[in-house]
C-alpha cells in the first residue's frame, strides 16, 4: 500500500485508545491515518475492559472527536476524591482526605473504545487483524518527488499474508510492551511495582433493590459521584460507579512478581486462587465490599508495572513518535494511562497541524518538548502514590512506610489526586500555553 499523492499519511501501530485517539488527532490536522491493529475487531462496548477515570481536559478533547457522544450521559461524575483508613479487625473506617474539587468522570473502557472507533473520520482506515512486524525508514515516492518516510510490514492474522504500508510518520501506540520502543531502547525493562491488582465489574441491572446493592450503597453512600480509596494494612482497594448500573472495583495485593506468559499483563487464575482471594477479602474489608468482590463474575488479575521515564518520545530522525502506554507505561494510581494517551494524541495532532507540509521532524521535536516533562513527572508521581497506599517504602533505602491509621491529617494530604503534577491540565499547543 503506497502513500497517496499529496496529503501526508501516519501509520499508527495499535488500535486501542491511544491509537484511535491519534487517528482522530492526525485526521484533524489534515493528515490521513492507517491503523494496524492485531485484534480482530473493535471492542463491542460494555463487554470488554473495565472502568477508567477521565479528567476535564480529556473530556473536552474527546468531545471534539466524538461530537455525538453526549459525554455527560455516557459517563458518571467523580466529583469527590475520598481516602479512608479501614481497620481490618473491627472494620471501622475513618476519613483520611476528602477533596470535593476532583472533577473527573467515570467511563467504561469498552464504551470509550467503541465510540472512538465509530466516530473515526473518512481520512482514517483501520486494518483489524494486522500484526505489525517491523518497519524501515525509507524514501517515499508519490510521483511528485522523493520525501523521507517509513514503510511498515504487517502480517494478516487470518491468512498469514504479509503486507507493506507506507507513510510519512510511524506512530507507536502498541502498548506497554511496545515492540517499536524495544527497537530503540532494547535494554528498557518494565519495572514490577511489588503488587498485583484484582479487578472486577459488578453489573446490578435489575438488582437495584437487592441486599448487596442496598448494603454497598449504605457503606459507600456517595457511589455515583465519588472515587473511594480504602486503605488497610499494606493494601488498598478502589471503588466507583460506572454508567449502565455497574460498580468497578480494584484490590491491590503486595507480593513477588508472578510469571507471565506472552505480552499481556492480565493473568488467568485458578478457581482455588479466586476462592483464596474471596476469603481474604472477608478478613480485610467491610462485609459489604467483601460481598461485592465475592459476587462479581469473572474478576481478573493485572500485574502492575511501570517504566522509568524514557529519554525521548521521538525517534529515527523524527520519523517515529511514541504515544500512550508505549511511551510511558505507568501504574494506575493517578488515573493517568488513558488521560495521557488522549493528551499525547491531541498534542501530536496540534504539532502536525502547526507545521503543515513541513516534514515531521520539527513537529515531533515540539511534541516531545511538550509531552516528555509532563508524562515523566506523572509516571513517577503515580508510582509514589501506589507505594504510599500499599505501605511500601517510597524511595530505595526508606526504612518506614505510610501507615494509614497512624497518619496525621497533613501526612494524608499526599494521598490526594490533586497532588499529581499538571493536575489542572497539561500544556497544549492550541491552548496557547506552549
Instruction: Provide the binding-site residues for ligand FAD, judged by CB under 6 A.
Output: 13-19, 36-39, 48-52, 109, 131-132, 173-175, 179, 324-326, 337-338, 341
Task: In angstroms, give the least distance from the CB of 384 to ligand FAD.
Answer: 19
- Distance CA(228)–CA(381), nearest Å, equals 19
Q: For residue 151, what is its C-alpha cell? A: 514503510
Phi, psi of 404 (to 5 degrees): -60, -35
User: Based on CB atoms, which residue is closest to ligand FAD, 116 or 407?
Assistant: 116
Residue with cell 491488582: 197
Q: Which residue is nearest to ligand FAD (CB)?
A: 324
Instruction: Using DSSP, state whether 363 is helix, strand or coil.
Output: helix
Nearer to ligand FAD, 59 or 404 (CB): 59
Give the nearest distance from C-beta 249 to ligand FAD in angstroms. Answer: 12
Nearer to ligand FAD, 252 or 402 (CB): 252
Q: State whether the Cα torsion 280-281-282-284 is positive or negative.
A: positive
**Nearer Cβ to ligand FAD (176/226):** 176
8 A C-beta contact, residue 268 and residue 123: no
Query: In the bound complex, what is the minimum distance in angstroms from residue 131's beta carbon to ligand FAD?
Result: 4
Could you tell me the smallest distance in angstroms from the CB atom of residue 341 to ligand FAD? 4
The Cα–Cα gap between 237 and 227 comes to 11
User: In the complex with ligand FAD, which residue's Cβ is closer, 57 or 86?
Assistant: 57
Whether residue 11 contacts residue 336, with contact meaning beta carbons closer than 8 Å, is answered with no
173/213 with CB nearer ligand FAD: 173
By CB neighbour count within 10 A (0-12 exposed, 13-18 middle, 19+ buried), where does 342 fall?
A: buried
Alpha helix (H) residue ranges in 53-131: 56-65, 71-74, 109-118
Cβ 418 to ligand FAD shortest distance, Å: 20
Q: Is 164 helix (H, G, I), strand (E, B) or coil?
A: strand
Q: Which is nearer to ligand FAD, 36 or 313 (CB)?
A: 36
Q: Tell me the closest approach of the beta carbon of residue 397 to ligand FAD, in angstroms.
A: 30
Locate cell 455527560: which residue?
72
265 three-class SS = coil
CB of 53 to ligand FAD, least distance (A): 8
What the block records as the C-alpha cell of 125 is 482506515
Amino acid at each position: 500500500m503506497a502513500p497517496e499523492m499529496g496529503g501526508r499519511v501516519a501509520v499508527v501501530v495499535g488500535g486501542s485508545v491511544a491509537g484511535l485517539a491519534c487517528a482522530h488527532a492526525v485526521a484533524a490536522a489534515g493528515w490521513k491515518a492507517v491503523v494496524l491493529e492485531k485484534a480482530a475487531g473493535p471492542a463491542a462496548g460494555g463487554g470488554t475492559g473495565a472502568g477508567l477515570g477521565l479528567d476535564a481536559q480529556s473530556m473536552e478533547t474527546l468531545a471534539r472527536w466524538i461530537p455525538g457522544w453526549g459525554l455527560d450521559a455516557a459517563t458518571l461524575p467523580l466529583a469527590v476524591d475520598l481516602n479512608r483508613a479501614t481497620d481490618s479487625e473491627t472494620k471501622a473506617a475513618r476519613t483520611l482526605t476528602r477533596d470535593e474539587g476532583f472533577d473527573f468522570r467515570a467511563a467504561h473502557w469498552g464504551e470509550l473504545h467503541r465510540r472512538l472507533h465509530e466516530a473515526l473520520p473518512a481520512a482514517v482506515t483501520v486494518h483489524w487483524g494486522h500484526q505489525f512486524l517491523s518497519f524501515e525508514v525509507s524514501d517515499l515516492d508519490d510521483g511528485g518527488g522523493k520525501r523521507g518516510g517509513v514503510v511498515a510490514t504487517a502480517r494478516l492474522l487470518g491468512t498469514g499474508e504479509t503486507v507493506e504500508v507506507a507513510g510519512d510518520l510511524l506512530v507507536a501506540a502498541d502498548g506497554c510492551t511496545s515492540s517499536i520502543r524495544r527497537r530503540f531502547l532494547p535494554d528498557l525493562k518494565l519495572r514490577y511495582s511489588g503488587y498485583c491488582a484484582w479487578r472486577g465489574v459488578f453489573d446490578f441491572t435489575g438488582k437495584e433493590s437487592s441486599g448487596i446493592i442496598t448494603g454497598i450503597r449504605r457503606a459507600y453512600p456517595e457511589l455515583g459521584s465519588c472515587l473511594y480509596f480504602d486503605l488497610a494494612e499494606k493494601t488498598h482497594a478502589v471503588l466507583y460507579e460506572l454508567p449502565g448500573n455497574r460498580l468497578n472495583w480494584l484490590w491491590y495485593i503486595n507480593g513477588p512478581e508472578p510469571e507471565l506468559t506472552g505480552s499481556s499483563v492480565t493473568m488467568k487464575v485458578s478457581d482455588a486462587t479466586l476462592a483464596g482471594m474471596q476469603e481474604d477479602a472477608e478478613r480485610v474489608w467491610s462485609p459489604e465490599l467483601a460481598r461485592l468482590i465475592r459476587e462479581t463474575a469473572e474478576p481478573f488479575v493485572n500485574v502492575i508495572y511501570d517504566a522509568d521515564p524514557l529519554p525521548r518520545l521521538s525517534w529515527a530522525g523524527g520519523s517515529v513518535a511514541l504515544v500512550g502506554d508505549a511511551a510511558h507505561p505507568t501504574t494506575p494510581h493517578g488515573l493517568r494511562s488513558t488521560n495521557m494517551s488522549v493528551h499525547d494524541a491531541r498534542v501530536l495532532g496540534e504539532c502536525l497541524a502547526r507545521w503543515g507540509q513541513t516534514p515531521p521532524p520539527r513537529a515531533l521535536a515540539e511534541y516531545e518538548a511538550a509531552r516528555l516533562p509532563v508524562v515523566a513527572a506523572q509516571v513517577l508521581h503515580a508510582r509514589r502514590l501506589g507505594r504510599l497506599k500499599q505501605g511500601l517504602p517510597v524511595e530505595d533505602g526508606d526504612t518506614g512506610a505510610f501507615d494509614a491509621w497512624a497518619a496525621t491529617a497533613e501526612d494524608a494530604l499526599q494521598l490526594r489526586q490533586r497532588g499529581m503534577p499538571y493536575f489542572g491540565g497539561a500544556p497544549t499547543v492550541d491552548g496557547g500555553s506552549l
